[in-house]
Amino acid sequence: MENESTNEKVSRRGFLELGSAALAAAAGGLAVSGAIAQENPSAKTQSDRSATEPAPANGPLNQQNADSEWPPATDSKSLVRNFKYPFSFANKRAYEGGWSREVTVRELPVSKDLAGVNMRLTAGGVRELHWHTADEWAIVLYGSARITAIDREGKSFVADTKKNDLWYFPSGIPHSIQGLDPDGTEFMLVFDDGNFSESETLLLSDAMAHLPPEVLSKNFGVAEATLRNLPKKELFIFQTAVPGSLEADQKAAAGALGTSPESFAFRTMDMPPTKRTKGGEVRIVDSSIFKASTNVAMAMVTVHPGGLRELHWHPNADEWQYYITGKARMTVVATGNLGRTMDFQTGDVGYVQKTLLHYIENTGDTDLIFLEMFKSSFYQDLSLSQWLTHTPPELVMAHLNIDKATLDAIPKDELVVVPG
Ligand code: MN
Ligand code: MN
C-alpha cells in the first residue's frame, strides 16, 4: 500500500511535469500513458491508460484516500453507502476552557445507531454539569480528567481518569468532566443514538435561566436576592481553577449519604488483552466486565505493521469505529453484490452496518490502534476463517475450488488479528 500510493504520487507528478509542450508533442493519450508506464513500471496506470487524472486535483486528499482514487479491481462499480467521516471535517465549538466537535448521523448518514463527540478540556476547564437522553460512553485519549455523577439512589461518584480509562453515564444520570493538571484532557464520547447532538443536552445553566426566580427561591429555600447572579445563558464549557485532592472532593460530595457503590469508570489497561497474537491484540470491554456499560460495548484493537484485523462480521449490532492512531484500509462487502474499500487515518470515523463482512488492514509502518464500538450490552463477532473450518470440508472445497491442503492451512480458531 505505502509503495503503491507513493508510486502513484510520483506518476501523477511525472505526468504534470511533462508540460503542455510535451503533451502537444505526444501523439495523443496513448503515448502519454505509455510515458507514465515507463517511468513507473509498478504503477497501476501500466495496465490501464484510463487511470489518469489530468485536470488539477487535491493531491494530499487523494493520497490519503488511495483506495477511492483507484479502487481495487474487486470493488463494485455501484457503491456501498459512504462509511467514513474525518473529525477534521467537523467544526469545533471553541470556548475559554476547551472545545468540542461531533460526528453524528447528520454528518455520516449511515451512522444511525451511534454518534461521537471529541472534546478537549484545559487544566481546570469544565464540561458543565448536565445530563442527556442518550447513554454516554467515553475513552480518555490524552491527559487526565475528574468526572462526577450521582447514581440512581442519589449517591455521589467522583473519580479521576487517565489515558485509555473509560466512563459510562446512563441516560438521565447527571454528570460533569473537568481537565486536571498538567495539561487537561482530550477524550472521545460515544452516544447510543446516531441522532444525538452535543447542542441538545440538559445543562444546569440553561435549566436555571428558564425557571422563574421566585420558583427557584421557593425550591431551594433561599432568598431570591441570593440567586441574582445565576448565569443567564449556557456555560457548556468554561474555565475555572483546577480542583483540589480527589479524596477531599469525594468526601465533600458524599455528605451523609455515602459514596455510590457503583463505578461509572473502568481502567482498560489494568486488564490483560482479551486476545494477543503475532499480528496484534484486542481488549473487549462490555457489560460482562464493566457493569455500568449496559448499552455500549467496545473492542480496542491494535494491529502491528503488516497485520490484519481478520475478515469477520457482527451479527448483533452496527459497528462505529474511531481511528486513534496509524493508517488502515477497510473493505465492506454488502448485500446486492457490492464491495467498497476506503482508507482511514488518525481522527477518522468508520461505520459498518450489522452483519456486513469486513477486514481492517494496517497499511502504515506503525501500530494501528482503533475502536470498534457497538450499541449493545455484549460484544459479538463471527470469523470467516472459523466458519469455513467448521463446515464440512468437501462442501467448502466445492464452493471455493481449493484443495484440502489449502483448506487445512486456514486458521481453525478465531485469531481476531492475523498473523497468529
Ligand atoms: Mn455528557
Ligand atoms: Mn468489526
CA 113–ligand 2 middle distance (angstroms): 15
CA 206 to chain centre: 30
Tens digit of pLDDT for each residue in 352-390?
A: 999 999 999 999 999 999 999 999 999 999 999 999 999
- What are the strands, taking DSSP E only, across 163-292? 165-169, 175-179, 185-191, 202-203, 237-239, 265-267, 275-277, 280-285
- Looking at the predicted structure, is the pLDDT value of residue 30 above 90? no
- Looking at the predicted structure, is the pLDDT value of residue 37 above 80? no
Tens digit of pLDDT for each residue in 151-207?
A: 999 999 999 999 999 999 999 999 999 999 999 999 999 999 999 998 889 999 999
What pLDDT is recorded for position 50? 85
Give, in order, the Cα–Cα distances in Å from 113 to each of 105, 190, 214, 277, 338. 8, 10, 42, 31, 22
Helices and strands (H, E) in the chain, number of each type: 11, 25
- Looking at 16-25, 81-90, 181-190, 204-213, which range is the least confident one? 16-25
Question: pLDDT grade, residue 9 (50/70/90)?
Answer: very low
Which of the two residues, 173 and 10, has the higher pLDDT score?
A: 173
Tens digit of pLDDT for each residue in 230-261?
A: 999 999 999 999 999 999 999 999 999 999 99
Q: Catalytic one among 107, 310, 319, 372? A: 372
CATH number of 90-267: 2.60.120.10
CA 383 to chain centre: 22
The ligand with the least distance to the CA atom of 313 is 2
The ligand with the least distance to the CA atom of 317 is 2
What pLDDT is recorded for position 200? 86
What pLDDT is recorded for position 42? 40
CA–CA distance, 382 with 200 (Å, rounded to integer): 36
The ligand with the least distance to the CA atom of 318 is 2
CA 205–ligand 1 middle distance (angstroms): 14
CA 314–ligand 2 middle distance (angstroms): 6
Q: Domain segments of the chain: what residues?
A: 7-51+59-77+271-418, 90-267
Tens digit of pLDDT for each residue in 56-79?
A: 999 999 999 999 999 999 999 999
CA–CA distance, 375 with 190 (Å, rounded to integer): 10
- Looking at 49-63, 92-106, 315-329, which range is the least confident one? 49-63
What pLDDT is recorded for position 142? 98
SS3 call for 253: helix
Known catalytic residue at 372: yes
Q: What is the mean pLDDT of residues 282-299?
A: 98
Q: What is the share, in percent, of the chain residues with pLDDT greater than 70?
A: 89
Neighbours of ion ligand 2 (CB under 5 A): 319, 372
Tens digit of pLDDT for each residue in 105-158?
A: 999 999 999 999 999 999 999 999 999 999 999 999 999 999 999 999 999 999
Q: b or e along 193-222 (b: 16 or more beta carbons within 10 Å of the residue's beta carbon)? A: bbebbbeebebbbbeeeeeeeeebeeeeee
CA 82–ligand 1 middle distance (angstroms): 28
CA 191–ligand 1 middle distance (angstroms): 9
> Hey, what CATH topology would domain 7-51+59-77+271-418 get?
Jelly Rolls (2.60.120)
Mean pLDDT of all residues in the chain? 90
CA 264–ligand 2 middle distance (angstroms): 26
CA–CA distance, 308 with 100 (Å, rounded to integer): 32
Residue 419, classified by CB atoms within 10 Å of its CB into exposed (0-12), middle (13-18) or buried (19+), is middle
Same topology for domains 7-51+59-77+271-418 and 90-267, yes or no? yes
CB 330 within 8 A of CB 362: no
The ligand with the least distance to the CA atom of 204 is 1
Residue 80, classified by CB atoms within 10 Å of its CB into exposed (0-12), middle (13-18) or buried (19+), is buried
- Looking at the predicted structure, is the pLDDT value of residue 29 above 60? no
The DSSP annotation for 71-114 comes to: --TTS-SSPPPP-EEEGGGSPPEEETTEEEEEE-TTTSTT--S-
Question: pLDDT grade, residue 36 (50/70/90)?
Answer: very low
CA 229–ligand 1 middle distance (angstroms): 25
